[in-house]
Amino acid sequence: MRYLNSPRIWLPALFFLATSCAAPASYRHISSIDPVPFVKALTERELLSEGLITTLDVRYRGDAGRYSGEVFLVLARPSQLRLEIPGAMGSTFLVMVSDGRKVWVYYPGEGLAYMTSVGGKSLAPYLPFHFPLDPAWIPNLIMGIIPEGVNTESVRAYATRSGKTVLYLDGSDGLSLQYAMLPGDPARLYAVTARKDSSTLTVTFASEDTNLPGKLDYRSAEGRTKVDFIRVRRADSLPERTFESPVPSYISVKDLEPGK
């Protein structure tokens, strides 16, 4: 791990989302087309393995400073994740876990822990990074699947000058989604872009295996994070404890939604 500034500044890295911008030239529309075959191709991706295990090479630059280093990530559909930031001398700096209902953030070296519900009160004030996107959608976006609750009946599809097809879908709370598909039978996923408020997340899939993420680009008013997925592999099963609370029983957890 290579810190260029404070180790607690980086992680817009994984989660997400940046300034809204015009579609790139390669996505300029030619005509509206039938979206059904392309939605079917995305839906069939759900038949792939349930999870991903990967190491992330993260580079961040923004208002808070700079960061460069590795982060470990495990994802499982529909809405489970485990993220670990290594610390010095083999220690763990941060563990973040979502089991699909609750989200925990735990700093082992400081004995600090926080908890909220998925879609509930934001953990942003207690995190070393901005967290504008509901963690329930993160695994779906990185694995190239349409998140649960997104209405596919309103999807729009367009042919582009580059030969790609682009699908547009609307989620809740102002989230908009864009799926760029490569030509073929069936069509293959090239990239997913999610926009919310003034932030944007783009995941580009590996050219040799479009079922695996290759790169992630997160932009916001606070800065930009670039991520390469390295040593990434699909996982058909994961240990049951992977997505359990990472907080030891002797650590007091600050519940941001007491009584719920």
- The tens-digit pLDDT sequence of the chain (260 residues) is 433 333 333 333 344 333 333 344 456 788 999 999 999 999 888 888 888 999 999 888 877 677 788 889 999 987 898 999 998 888 999 999 999 899 999 999 999 999 998 877 777 667 665 554 556 678 888 999 888 778 888 899 999 988 899 999 987 777 889 999 998 888 899 999 998 878 888 999 988 888 899 999 988 887 888 899 998 999 888 888 999 999 999 999 999 988 76
**CB 120, CB 100: distance < 8 Å:** no
Domains, the chain, ordered by start: 2-255 (2.50.20.10)
The CA distance from 89 to 87, in Å, is: 7
Read off the tokens for 176.
Answer: 């908009």
- Single pTM value for the model: 0.81
Contacts of 97 (CB under 8 A, 6+ apart): 81, 82, 83, 103, 104, 106, 243, 244, 245, 246
The CA distance from 105 to 131, in Å, is: 12
**CB 98, CB 243: distance < 8 Å:** yes
